[in-house]
Amino acid sequence: MAYSDDAFSKKLVENVFPADWKNPKAAQTYDLLVIGGGPGGMTAATIAREHQATVALIEKEHMGGECLSYGCIPSKALLRSSRLAADVRNGANFGLEIPNDWKVDFGAVMQRVHRLQATLAPHDSPEHFKGLGIDLFLGQARFLGPNQVEVGGQTITFKKAIIATGTEPVPLKIPGLTESDYLTNQTIFQLSTLPKRFGVIGGGPISCELAQAFLQFGSEVTLITDSTHLLPRDDLMATERLKKVFEDEGMKIFFQSHVERVEKKGKEKTLYLNQPNQSITVDEILVAIGRAPAVMGLDLEKAGISYHTHYGISTNDFLQTTNPNVYAVGDVTSRYKFTHISQELASMAVTNALKGHTKKNSSLNVPWCTFTEPEVAHIGLSEQEAKEKGIATESVIIELSNIDRAIVDEETIGFMKLLVKENSHHIIGADLMASHAGDMISELSVAMASEQGLLALAQAIHPFPTQAQVVRTAAKTLLQNRGKVEALHV
């Protein structure tokens, strides 16, 4: 585990991995065994107890998983501070007089991050789950056979099991990188001094969020990605606009590039790229790529569970592995590596394991959001995915520059793209780029579950003025384009 040595971080560790924790004596047989104490595992164990099942939960490192210690919680706490720094820097645009000598106290920023982690930690603590009637074991789980695992010298027998072990970092094989003391999402929150020059390797969500955050704090940021654009899984229109936002803010971006070697001289670190005479000297390097499903060390072979070190544990549509009594959820099996999806899959797996196979993974409409400024969110299928499935579609794009609240907020760099099945109310996908896209995309989740999805959006009254009016405007525009104006007033 990698944590800072301040009082808040110590409180966090005391909660998520208490040194004095004593594993309980294992019961003869458990209705459900859960391996992994992150969002997926914690959700599965909690729901199973609500079904009155006997439950054992095993975590080898720290409760709360990546989300609490290294992921969603600390990163979003950091982003809140960085956005405030950006607002202060732009204060004159809003009629505010900001002193020239204002500064970011980065040490205090990180203290706030650690304080908020410590505040949330008790909800993920072993004591909390003990209070729910769950037997919690800290240690490495290893399968002994199809329905048994060993942890801390004890054998645990189960009727059903759920594996939710998440992912783990995979070191990049770049000469000199290890010697450069590079940062990952697991170590970046230990920083107490803002680096003057900050290099980021990777162009995915974590890279983009943290690169912009450090840029807003005042670092000189260079981002290096081997892709042709940022956020490869998101709408190209959104990613091109995000690129322009980053560059306008002062970020330097190298596309279709990779680091061939790193040299450290004193405190400086120089990255040499795969381009002639191109190098970048920075004070800190963040590597935000290279994670793999956490499948090693579990002895899955002894349980008859098929897996791949890159793609993770193989499951069917009911989240069942090749061992019919064992299920897998979250990042260790799903291509959608998000906390909310891990939790949803955990709920499905518990139902399927304890009540019979009624919940299908393929039924999910998966929303996600990258929390840059502006945010980039998506749900469902893209136009290309719909085309590959042979689905005829209609779409509309509404610019935020046409929405009154976005104009008065001066947050017009964004849009909504709505994708529906041709001549129907069935919404099959959407993309949103807006300052609060992560909140707004949930409206699409509800609409997509409704048979009257498009019509429901068009008829739902939205408060004025809000940026969410872009959602209703998109739905109304699609219906108007069909000549269905009368339907809006039914």
Phi and psi, residue 376, nearest 5°: -125, 115
Phi and psi, residue 143, nearest 5°: -70, 135
Closest by Cα among 195, 228, 190 to 213 = 195
Cis peptide before 374 (omega within 30 of 0): yes
Percentage of residues in the chain having pLDDT higher than 90: 90
CB within 8 A of 430, min separation 6: which ones?
378, 379, 380, 416, 417, 418, 419, 441, 444
Calpha distance 65→59 (Å, rounded): 9
Number of H helices, E strands in the chain: 14, 23
- Mean predicted confidence (pLDDT) in 160-165: 98
Q: Classify residue 51 by burial, with Cβ atoms within 10 Å: 0-12, 13-18, 19+.
A: middle
Query: With bands split at pLDDT 50, 70 and 90, how would you rate the model's confidence at 1?
Result: low
Place of tokens 């299908």: 360
| pLDDT for 323 | 98
CATH architecture of the domain 7-79+107-168+292-363 equals: 3-Layer(bba) Sandwich (3.50)
Closest by Cα among 162, 126, 182, 128 to 33 = 162
Calpha distance 350→371 (Å, rounded): 30
For the chain, how many residues are written?
A: 490
Percentage of residues in the chain having pLDDT higher than 70: 98
Domain boundaries, the chain: 7-79+107-168+292-363, 178-289, 374-489
- Flag whether pLDDT at 488 surpasses 70: no
Residue 333, both tokens: 């099996």
Calpha distance 143→33 (Å, rounded): 12
- Mean predicted confidence (pLDDT) in 418-425: 95
Closest by Cα among 161, 129, 121 to 346 = 161
- Mean predicted confidence (pLDDT) in 409-427: 96
Interior angle at CA 319, CA 318 and CA 320, nearest 5: 90
Least confident of 1-10, 108-117, 189-198, 201-210: 1-10
Model pLDDT for residues 121-161, shown as the tens digit of each residue:
999 999 999 999 999 999 999 999 999 999 999 999 999 99
Query: With bands split at pLDDT 50, 70 and 90, how would you rate the model's confidence at 484?
Result: low
| pLDDT for 276 | 84
Burial state string for 319-330 with b = 16 or more CB within 10 A and e = fewer than 16: bbbebebbbbbb
| pLDDT for 486 | 47
- Mean predicted confidence (pLDDT) in 380-385: 94
- Flag whether pLDDT at 5 surpasses 80: no
Place of tokens 């799903």: 334
Residue 368, both tokens: 């996600």
Query: With bands split at pLDDT 50, 70 and 90, how would you rate the model's confidence at 56?
Result: very high
What is the pLDDT of the chain when averaged over all its residues?
94
CATH of domain 178-289: 3.50.50.60
Model pLDDT for residues 60-79, shown as the tens digit of each residue:
988 999 899 999 999 999 99
Domains 178-289 and 374-489 share a fold: no
CB within 8 A of 257, min separation 6: which ones?
224, 225, 226, 273, 274, 275, 278
Residue 26: DSSP 8-state = P
Place of tokens 């294992």: 26
Calpha distance 319→342 (Å, rounded): 12
Superfamily of domain 374-489, CATH level 4: FAD/NAD-linked reductase, C-terminal dimerisation domain (3.30.390.30)
Which string of DSSP letters, residue by residue, matches 399-450?
EGGGSHHHHHHT--S-EEEEEEETTSS-EEEEEEEETTHHHHHHHHHHHHTS
Model pLDDT for residues 197-255, shown as the tens digit of each residue:
999 999 999 999 999 999 999 999 999 999 999 999 999 999 999 999 999 999 999 99
C-beta of residue 262 within 8 angstroms of C-beta of residue 180: yes
Model pLDDT for residues 264-311, shown as the tens digit of each residue:
999 999 999 998 889 999 999 999 987 899 999 999 999 999 999 999
